[in-house]
Structure formats: C-alpha cells, structure tokens
Structure 1
Amino acid sequence: MIKLSKRLQTIADYVKRGARVADIGSDHALLPTYLVQSGVCPSAIAGELNSGPFRAAKKQVADAGLQARITVRQGNGLAVVMPGETDTVTIAGMGGSLMSTILEEGYAAGKLDGVTELVLQPNVGEDDVRVWLLEKGWYLSHESILEEDGKIYEVLHAVSRDAQPSASSNETLYEGSFLKLPYDKEVLHRVLLRMGPHLLRQGSPVLTAKWRSEIGKLERIIAQMSASEGTESTLKAEQFRKEISIIEEVLQCLRTEIPSSN
C-alpha cells in the first residue's frame, strides 16, 4: 500500500468508508489509489487537466493494478464527472480562488448533484472557499491545520444542505461572540471566514504560527510602502495596520480564552 504525506493523509481521513469519491486535480492519483487500496472506497475517479500529471496518474493506477476500480479522466475541474456519479469530491493543492471557480462551474453544470461531502485543501485563499461554501448552503463541519516540510496547510470538510445538523448550523458556526473581541458582528464574521471558525474555536500552535507569519508579511509590505508617496499608499498601509491589529487581538484571545489543542 502506498504511503501518503501528512497533508494527503489528513484529507484521506475525512473520506467516509464506502464513499464514491472523485479526486479533482489528482496529479499522480496518490489519494484515490490509497483510498481504494486501504478499502475505504470501492472505486474512485481521478481527474486531471494537464497531460503530464494525467499520464502520471494513469501510470500510478496501472502500477497498483487498479485500472478496474480507479478511472483516470482528463478534463477541466468537475467536467470529468457526470451528475450523480459521485457522492464525495476531494480537491487539493491549488489556490482558493481557483478551487471556488471549479466548484462554482461544477455546481452550475449539475456536477455536484448527489454530492454530500467535500474535502478541500486550498494552498492559499481559504476564505474564498469558505465564502463559496456559505453562499451555496454547505456546512463546514470540520477543519484541520497542519505543518509539513515547512509549509502550513488547512483542510476543510463540508457537508451538503441535506446532511447538515440543522437549518441554523451556519448561522451558529459563524457567530463570533466566543472570541470576546470589541468588534461588531460583521467584522467578527469576516474574521471567522478568513481564519476558520473551527480552527479559532480549537486553537493550536500551528494556527498561531500561520498568522504570525502573515503579520510579518504585512509588516514588510508596510515598510516597502513607507518609501512610496501618495494618498493611495498611505491608505493601503493604514488598512494593513488595522488588519495586523485585528489579527494580534485574535491571537491574544486564543492565548487567554481558548485552550490550545496539542
């Protein structure tokens, strides 16, 4: 059986036994190969747009002797699946904006009909994905954050409207009063979308490290802007300072209000 990276294993652990999974942007088809080899999924679809990764995925499946159980298809996003063909979709290793576009195009084409679970790992722009899920009525049921090889990843697990605990699940999830911060509901809502409602409730050293790094990036941008003249640069720098202030307050809240999970 193949061994997955920590990142891919976290994704795999969210896939339910017996799921009919489609892995979009499957690269070398490592995830579907593992899911079938381990007995989690009876079969799987691996979708890849580019010819190189598509050929690599086909070779991986052939080397594992799983051609009868894993279908490797070349195409753009969810175009590789038929409506009702899968109940679980995994997408990993791309930006949140692109991931949201893939989901939106698939949704519009009916490719998500019958899909009850999404496992998503955006490399950046996680808030774009959370916004899409919220707008389309999906419930973000779990989030994980991990560090591997010097990089930090977030994994999001969402369930469809029909599989949600209650009709008010999202309203409760994105209610930010638990942070005990002096901001209105709209600001707290944006904070939860950006930093992760479950991740903030859980707290972790990895989450803190991620946002400490983000503060450092913003401070470097502000320093570069200080050499520039003009109203636009001044306003932008002030916006970044406010952003840093909010992040700092959230991190302080995590230290004082929410026990870290080790």
Structure 2
Amino acid sequence: MNEQELSQRLARVGSHVPQDARLADIGSDHAYLPVALMLKNKITFAVAGEVVKGPFQSAEKQVRKSGLTDQIVVRLADGLDAIEETDRINAITIAGMGGTLIRSILEAGKQHGRINGSERLILQPNVGEKTLREWLVENEYTIIEEEILAENKKIYEIIVAEKQEPVSYSDQELFFGPHLLKEKNDVFIQKWQREIAGKERVLAQLEKAEEKPLEKVAEIQTQLAWIKEVLA
C-alpha cells in the first residue's frame, strides 16, 4: 500500500469523503489517505493527525515527498486535538482502531470543542462497532451509510454519520448496523457465522465459572439468539 494505491479498506473509507472536503485524518498512518485523496483532487485541504512521534515523522515525510506541504498539514497531537478552528474541517476519518478508542477520541473532541456536529464522520473500527454506534446515537448523529468488506482474511466495517433529523435505532440495529442489517450481503453473513462460534466458546467458559456472571451470560445468549435469527 502507498499513496498511489491504497488498501481496499482505506480506498472505501476515502470513497465516503465528500468532494472538495476539508479533511482531518486522525491516526493517519503515513498520511496515505489524505495524500491519495489530494492527488485525485477529491479534497482541498487536510490535517493528518498523529499522536506518536515515529508515525508523525513518516506522515511528514510522505507529504513532503508528494509535494503537498501547502495543502496537507501534519500535526503531532492526541486525537481531535490535531484540529484547529481555522482549519474549517467538514469531514473526519478515523480508521484502523478499536471502536472503544474511536468513541473516546470523539468524546474528547466534543469536550474540547474540536468538533461541532457540522462534520461528516467516516469511521472504520476494527472491533467494537456497537459501542461506537451507541455514541453516535447519544450525540444525535444519524448513520447515513455503512459498508462491510473482507480484505486479507479480516472483515472491516465502515460507519458514516452526520447530524440530521434525529433517528432512533433498535438494539439489534445498533448491534448489527442498521444499513448492514437491511442488506445482509455475503461478507455480513460470513462475519456473523464466525461470531456464533466465538460467542458459544465464551458462553461455555462462563457457564463453567464458579461465580457465574449472570448478566454477561444473558447478554451473550440474547446476542446468539439475534444472530441465529438474522442468519436463518
């Protein structure tokens, strides 16, 4: 993967960035995504944010090599602290992290006044999609698009959200993804077939515990029932 040829996962994340957006890419990994989008004239300005010095330096080097130092700013900062008000950001990508971490980045960004709800959020959690959807709902975002794809034997979900008219979602929609649940494509089926085996293993271990965590057991039993119903 490089700035000319993104992984399928990152290319699909980039496809949800609006034309002519001012983008903040958080956890930018060599700044591949903003550089690729700038080279395709998809965006007009970008911030590439990194919290670790090594990846920050790699992103700086990539932007310099691509001749884009006037259009892409690389900042060493924690999460959305990379964004400044004068950047006028209207799209944010956060990809390749756990859903819980992405949720905490968004919450901290909200608390620090780094996001105001006018931005499109394009999120690609590696795990923990449900907790991320819950944060979006709690903060009055509508999930406008979702995507699920397989690459290198891993399955990834992309969640795109904007502040629109308030929408309510059922527990099952937050668990599976409201758009993914409607579509139920082959990758969706594959993911949840895998999940059955994993959840049944966890359940068997919990059942053997001396002090059985009844609430957790009930939660997994409910989720297994949902999955089997959806796959039926």
Q: Which protein is richer in strand relative to its size?
A: 2
Question: Match of 1:16?
Answer: 18
Shift of 1:100: 0.7
List 4+ stretches of structure 1 deviating above 6 A.
Answer: none
Question: Match of 2:112?
Answer: 109
Name the CA shift for 1:191/1:68 in 2 (closer, same or farther; >3 Å): same
Say which of 221, 224, 229 aligns to 1:244. 224
Unaligned runs of 5+ in 2: none
The answer to whether the 8 Å contact 1:11/1:119 transfers is yes
Partner of 1:28, secondary structure, is coil
Question: Match of 1:32?
Answer: 34
TM (normalized to structure 1)?
0.82
Shift of 1:84: 5.6
Written as runs of structure 1 = structure 2, the 5 A alignment for 1:140-159 is: 140-159=143-162
Pair 1:43 & 2:45 matched = yes
Letter in 1 for 2:173: L
Partner of 2:21, secondary structure, is coil
Cα distance per residue 1:186-230 (max 9 Å; x no partner):
xxx11110110000011111111111111111112233345x342
Cα distance per residue 1:126-176 (max 9 Å; x no partner):
11111111111111100000000000000011112xxx2xx34x13xx2xx
The answer to whether the 8 Å contact 1:84/1:113 transfers is no
Aligned length: 229
Shift of 1:81: 0.7
Letter in 1 for 2:12: T
The answer to whether the 8 Å contact 2:49/2:82 transfers is yes
Question: Match of 1:203?
Answer: 184
Partner of 1:141, secondary structure, is strand
Pair 1:216 & 2:160 matched = no
With 149-158 and 58-67 compared, the bigger mean Cα shift is at 58-67
C-alpha RMSD of the superposition: 1.7
Partner of 2:127, secondary structure, is coil
Unaligned runs of 5+ in 1: 175-188, 253-262
Written as runs of structure 1 = structure 2, the 5 A alignment for 1:1-262 is: 2-83=4-85, 85=87, 86-113=89-116, 115-160=118-163, 164=164, 167-168=165-166, 170-171=167-168, 174=169, 189-226=170-207, 228-232=208-212, 236-237=216-217, 239-252=219-232
- State how far apart, in whole Å, the 1-side matches of 2:149 and 2:190 are: 11
The answer to whether the 8 Å contact 1:84/1:112 transfers is no
Q: Please tell me whether Structure 1 or Structure 2 has the larger radius of gyration of its CA atoms.
A: 1
Question: Match of 1:179?
Answer: none
TM (normalized to structure 2)?
0.93
